[in-house]
Structure formats: structure tokens, C-alpha cells
Chains A and B, each alone.
Chain A
Amino acid sequence: MNDDSTHSGNLPNDKEFSDEEIVKSHVELSKTKHEPTANFLLAPLVFVFVFGCLIFVCSIQLSHSTNSFQLHPPVEIVELTAEEKETLRLDRKISSGEKIFAARCASCHQANGLGIEGQFPPLAGSEWVSADPAVIANVILKGLKGEIMVKGQKYGTSAAVNMAAVPITDREIANVSTYVRQAWGNSSSEVFEDEVSRLRDESSDMQDQWVGSELRKMFSDSFGQ
């Protein structure tokens, strides 16, 4: 057992403290605040210095790795010109239309838009498609019956699907019409949602499907060529 003469103010250390002594002597210690040792001045200084360095290092670490306390890195917003925005919007509209077409139309009109000769009219290069946007929108809204001529071929629509039986929204109609009007070499104008809504309102009283010849007559200007 080493004898420590440097350590002052202690009770004799050959016997255990009683609890009363533990409390009293430690309370006493905390009242005198610090022990008169040689390192008294130096120790706090070193301490403050180390603490300061640590805070400095830690702040650097924090500023690097907290991502400014945000939930996730900022979602990259690329500044687009008006043109680019327009292209992006149209791209999305067409890709949405493509999906709708594949799921709902391609079984008859085929993915290549050529239809089936004698059964289902083609959409690629069809004058019905390139006519006034209202034509294609109306056909999708209500369906079509009666014989029609497409690209000089006669199609009977006895087997036509009643498209109105399958619910479809105005936005979907606008998207798929736009797709059809711009795919497979077609290059007609875009179809807008509000236009479709207007047509839906106008034809809301119609119980029956469109008759091909009537529809063609209504928009005969746009069938042109």
C-alpha cells in the first residue's frame, strides 16, 4: 500500500468510511470547489483548449454531414426553357397515351397502328385520325357504328367495341388521342383535356353510338384531301 502524503484532507485510510463520513467529506469537497494542487491553473486551461478544439472539429463534421438538416438532398430542379418544358410535357403525355393504347386499344388496332385488314381499320395514316381532334375524341367517348371508309377501304363496325362501356377519363382520352395522332408517322395536333370535357358535355344526352357517316359529315372540312 503506497502512502500518499501529497493527498491532504483525507481521513485515515486504513479503515472504511462510514456513510455519514462519505457524505460529509464529499459535501465539504464540493464546497471548497477545487483542490490546491500545482496543476490547478494548468488543468482547466488544457481542458478548455481541448474542449474548444473538439467543438471546432465537431462543428465541421456536423456542417459536412447533416445535409443542412433537410430530410433528403434537394430534389434537382433543372431550369428549363419554355420550349424544353413544353417538350417534356408533351413527352409525358404521349408516353402516358402509349400505355393506355397498349392496354386498351392494341388488341384490335394492333401496336403498330395498322389494324387488321377487313376487320379493324388502321390508325396509322388514317384520315379519321388526322381530322379534327373532336372526331377521334368523340369516337372514343361514344363508340362508332355503321360502315366507314378508311384509306379507301371499307370497314363494317358490327364488331366494334362499345368504347363508352369502359370508363375512361377526359385526361386519358386526351393522352391517348394525342398519342394516336402523333405515332406511326401521324403528325396531327395535340388533343387537350378541356376540349374532351367540352365534347363529353355536349354529347352527354346521346344514348347511342356515333354513326360513321354522320360524324364524317359534321367534320367534313377537316377530312380534306
Chain B
Amino acid sequence: MNNLAKFTIGIFFTLGMAWLAFVVGARSQFGDLVPTSEVLDDDGSVPEDAELFPIAFSGIAKQGAEEYAALGCVTCHTQQVRRVEAGFDVERGWGKRPSAPRDYVLQKHVLLGNSRIGPDLANVGLREYSDEWLHQHLFEPQSIFPSSLCPPSPFLYQQIDEPVNTDIEIASNNDPQDNRHVRPTVRANRLVAYLQALKQDYELPEVSFVETEDEPVEEDVVSTDVSVASSSAPQWLQEQIDTGKEIYMKAAPGGGMCFTCHQQNGEGLAGQFPPLAGSDWVLGNKERLIKISMYGLMGEIEVNGVKYNNVMAPPGIPPGSLTDDQIANVLTYIRNDWGNSASAVSAEEVATVRASLKGRAPMQMFTAAELTTPVQ
């Protein structure tokens, strides 16, 4: 104790032991984890064609992570689902399974957090909040949860007096006349993209989903009507959209099975199947769409400036069997999902087109050229 050098060695020895364990030891134990598949092959290797998890954030979500760190969200929000025996997190519906070290290996800043004045966010992207909902929550949490302590972030939004339909409506709790419209800045969009990307919805070899007995309690949205304020549609339209979606997704008689090519998210497949989301064809002339839905399409077609060359068999099972109603619904659906917003298609319009094509052979597909050339 009296010799400074020996004393120094002593105190650094004790510190060094902990360093060896928590820094050196831990690093060698799990410092080089890599993404893996949900299930391993029998010999413990990753199957060659399996999808790997976790997946990296998109660029905008990575920028959102920086915003999240800079705003200090980690002060009140954790991003970890504790093991079942160590906490109530899974029961609360904050995740399908406990988080594992591997879930975080692709994140630049790992913001596990240590305090939960707000709920856990490890799986906020799984809670099916719409982007509008998240924007509204970021702008003013109290407009959704009146008793929330989360600080509003009005500095991430522009208040708009003359809104267009992409702006977010913030409903007032007291007076509908006081409703405000805000337009997210790019920073708000990054943050929302990051939040939507936070999800641990895959299994890993080391951790599987936990079976819960009860449905997790839904979070306390006090005024539920608020959350759909921005996307509210008249009931008849909503019904048409919902039925249309069923047809879009159905792969049995009576369905269109559209999603196999155009995908559930309407993005199509690059180079193979054109997108529907934001497509100039889908949002444009209805007649063309109706024709395609009856007879199919083949050959080269240019969508949003990109050329595709493939064959679209007449939709329906069996092919070309969709009724006027079904065509009207599915077209209304694709014109009003994934950010699309265009007028509905009615069964009468379909019937008119069908009548005008009387005499065309049942399976004679259209070509894009045929549809774009004005009818003589």
C-alpha cells in the first residue's frame, strides 16, 4: 500500500480482471456474430438459399437511427424484450420473443436503453401503426394518448394551412374546427422509417417465438377515430377496397392471385413484373385497366419509364373469369393502396367496356401498343 507503483499495479489488476471478462471475454464470445437463417441445417450450417436475419436497415432508417440518438429518445425508451423469466415484456405484447444478441449486430448505435417511461420500442414496427399515426404521435403524442409524457416534437413538422392529401391531420380533442395539418420534414420521415424498421419478427436458431395464452392487450388509444382520420374513406369505398384486396390476395377460384407477380406490397419484381404502387398505368386511364383485367397483357410495356417484357395471363381462376363486380373492386383496391389515391371503378364502367369488346376472342391478350394507340 505504501509503494505507489505496487499500489497502482494492484488497483489496475482488479480493474483489469473485470475488463478481461466484460470487454475481452465478451468480445471474443459474441463480438463477431453474423446474420443467420431462421433454421439451421442438420450439421449446424446455414442453408444455402435461406433468408438471413437480422436484415440491415434501409438507408433512410439508418439516418432515422441517428435522429433517434440525437433527440435522446433512448432516455425513456428501451429496445429490448427481456427473457420471459426476467420480465413481463412478451406478455405485454412488446415482442413475439425475447431479443437476442444477434438481433443487433447490424446496427451502428445499439440503443438498448435502461429506462421505460415510454414503452419498449424493439418491435414498434410490428404494431401496425401507419406512418400517419407515427407522425401524429411524434408531432403531438397527447393528441393520441392524452396522458402521455412523451415530449411533442413540433420542430420536426411544418404547419400547413392549405393541406394536400399527403399532409397529416392532427385532430383536436375538443373541437374538430381546431384540427391542424402538418407536413413532415425529411427528419421526421427518417425517424418514422426507423421506427417502422424496428421489428424482431423472425426466429433465430437460438430463440423461438413465445407462445402466449392471451392476446396481448392493445395499447390505450383513447380516441380511436383519430388514428384513421387521415385515411378515412366513405364506407362504400372502404368496402370496395376491402373486397378488392381479398381478390388481389386470393389464389383460389373467385380470386385474382395478383400478388404472385405484383407482390403484396404492389412493388412488383424489378425487371420482371411492373409495380402497381405509384404506377402511371394504374393511376391513369380506367378503360385500359379494365381491358387488361379482362384479357391480360403481353409484350413490352413501359411503366414509370422502365421497360418490362413478360406475359400477364388474364387474371382470375380460371383465367379471365372475374366478374364485373370483382374487376371493379380489385381495380379500386389497387388504385387506393400503397399510397395510391385515384377514383374508384364501378361495375357499370366495367360492363360498358365489356360490351364494347364483344367479339374479341376469349384469351386474346392485349399488347401495350394496342392499348396506347387511340381507337380509330
Contact = CB atoms under 8 A, between A and B. Distances in A.
A172 interface: yes
A117 B320 CA distance: 11
Contact of A116 (B48, B205, B273, B319): B319
A73 interface: yes
B260 interface: yes
Contacts of A119: 313, 319, 363, 365
Interface string A88-122: 10001000100000111011101110101111100
Given A119-B363, A171-B48, A111 B319 contact: no
Interface residues of B, number: 32
Given A92-B47, A107-B273, A108-B313, A75 B206 contact: yes
B317 interface: yes
Contacts of B17: none
Contact of A161 (B44, B47, B310, B363): B310
B218 interface: no
A166 interface: yes
B48 A71 contact: no
Nearest to B47: A92
Contact of B205 (A75, A85, A114): A75
Most buried by B among A103, A104, A108, A119: A119
Contacts, number: 71
Nearest to B260: A106
A108 B101 CA distance: 44
A83 B64 CA distance: 49
Interface string B39-50: 010101001110
A118 B269 CA distance: 27
A144 to B, nearest CB: 14
A72 interface: yes
A120 B363 CA distance: 11
Shortest 8 CB-CB contacts between residues of A and residues of B:
A72-B206, A106-B260, A116-B319, A75-B205, A107-B261, A111-B251, A102-B260, A116-B313
Interface of B: 29-30, 40, 42, 44, 47-49, 100-101, 205-207, 251, 257, 260-261, 269, 271-273, 298, 310-314, 317-319, 363, 365
18 contacts: A72-B100, A75-B40, A75-B206, A88-B42, A92-B47, A103-B260, A103-B269, A106-B260, A106-B261, A107-B311, A107-B312, A111-B260, A112-B251, A116-B314, A119-B365, A161-B311, A166-B271, A166-B272
